[in-house]
Chain A
Amino acid sequence: MAPKGSKAPKARPKPPDPPKEYPTIADELLAAYQESRPYQTLAASKGIQNLTANEKACYAHAVFLETGAWRSWPAATQNEFWKTIQSEKIPIPLPKPQDLGRDTRGIEVGKYTPAEFKLYLRREREIEGLLGKTMGYLRAIMAAKEHSPRVLELTEHIISMNAAHYTVWLYRSQTLLALNSSIPAELEWVNNVALDNQKNYQIWHHRQILVEHLVQDVGSDEGKLRELGKSEVAFMKEMFDEDAKNYHVWSYRQWLVRKLDLWQKGEIEDCERLLREDVRNNSAWAHRFFVVFSNPRYCTEGSKATEFDGGIPDEILDREIEFSKAACFEAPQNQSPWNYLRGVLKKGGRKLVSLECFAGEFVKIPEKEGEGEEDVKSSHALDFLADAWAEKGEREKADRALRLLGDKYDRIRKNYWDWRRALLKSDGGGLGGIEGQFVVGAKLFGH
Chain B
Amino acid sequence: MAVSEPSLNAALHIKYWQRCLKSVLPNGYTSMDSSRVTLGFFILSALDLLGAGADTFSEDKRTNIKEWILKCQHPNGGFCGSPNHRYPDASYVDVGHGKQVMDPANLPATYFAIMGLSFVGSFDKIRRNDCLRWLKTMQREDGSFGEIVTQDGVIEGGRDMRTCMVAAAIRWMLRGDEIFTEEEKKGDIDVDRLVSHVRAGQTYDGGIGESSQHEAHAGYTYCAIASLKLVNRLPESKESEPNSGLTNVPSTIRWLVSRQMGYTAEDDEEEEEDPAPQVKLQGVYTDEAAPENEQFVGFNGRCNKRADTCYAFWVGAALNMLCHEKNTLLNVSPIRRFLFEQTQHRIGGFGKCPGDPPDIYHSYLALAALATMNEPGLKPLDAALCISIQQKKKLELLRKAASDWTGE
Contact = CB atoms under 8 A, between A and B. Distances in A.
Contacts of A339: 204-206, 303
Contacts of A205: 158
Contact of B247 (A306, A347, A423): A306
Contacts of A353: none
A435 B286 CA distance: 34
A439 B253 CA distance: 12
Given A119-B30, A126-B33, A280-B304, A416 B215 contact: no
A438 B238 contact: yes
B55 to A, nearest CB: 27
Interface in B166-215: 199-200, 202-206, 209-210, 212-215
Contact of A378 (B210, B289, B325): B289
Contact of A332 (B251, B285, B291, B303): B285
B324 A444 contact: yes
A251 B214 contact: yes
Contact of A410 (B285, B291, B329): B291
Contacts of B254: 416, 431
Contacts of B251: 306, 431
Contacts of B210: 247, 251
B282 A330 contact: yes
Interface in B213-242: 213-217, 235-238
A294 to B, nearest CB: 6
Given A143-B102, A329-B283, A410 B292 contact: yes
B53 interface: no
A230 interface: no
Nearest to B292: A412
Given A408-B291, A410-B292, A282 B215 contact: yes
Contacts of A102: none
A331 B282 contact: no
A245 B262 contact: no
A175 interface: no
A393 B205 CA distance: 23
Contacts of B285: 329, 332, 377
A81 interface: no
A119 B331 contact: no
Contacts of B238: 436-439
Interface of B is mostly: loop
Given A286-B215, A411-B292, A431-B254, A441 B277 contact: no
Interface stretch (A20-28, A69-77, A232-240, A271-279): A271-279
Contact of A254 (B214, B258, B330): B214
Contact of A440 (B101, B237, B260, B302): B237
A304 B200 contact: yes
Contacts of B203: 286, 289, 305-306
A288 B158 CA distance: 22
B390 interface: no
B7 interface: no
Interface string A336-347: 100110110011
Contact of B294 (A251, A304, A412, A440): A412
Contacts of A153: none
Nearest to B212: A305
Interface residues of A, number: 81
Nearest to A444: B323
B316 interface: no
A335 B300 CA distance: 13
Contacts of A49: none
A167 B305 CA distance: 32
Given A409-B289, A444-B324, A445-B328, A245 B302 contact: yes
A226 to B, nearest CB: 23
B287 interface: yes
B96 interface: no
Nearest to A411: B291
Contacts of B44: none
B48 interface: no
Nearest to A382: B289
B328 A139 contact: no
Given A304-B200, A332-B288, A119 B33 contact: no
B356 interface: no
B250 interface: yes
Interface of B: 27-33, 101-103, 147-148, 150, 156-158, 199-200, 202-206, 209-210, 212-217, 235-238, 247-251, 253-254, 257-258, 260-262, 275, 277-278, 280-294, 297, 302-305, 322-325, 328-331, 334
13 contacts: A119-B29, A139-B102, A170-B150, A245-B305, A283-B215, A304-B247, A329-B285, A332-B285, A413-B260, A416-B253, A431-B251, A441-B323, A444-B323
Interface of A: 116, 119-120, 122-123, 126-127, 132, 139, 142-143, 166-167, 170-171, 201, 205, 245, 247, 250-251, 254, 276-283, 286-287, 289-290, 293-294, 304-307, 326, 329-336, 339-340, 342-343, 346-347, 376-379, 382, 408-416, 419, 423, 431, 435-441, 444-445
Counting from the closest, the 6 A-B pairs by CB-CB distance are A343-B204, A286-B215, A339-B205, A305-B212, A282-B303, A280-B304
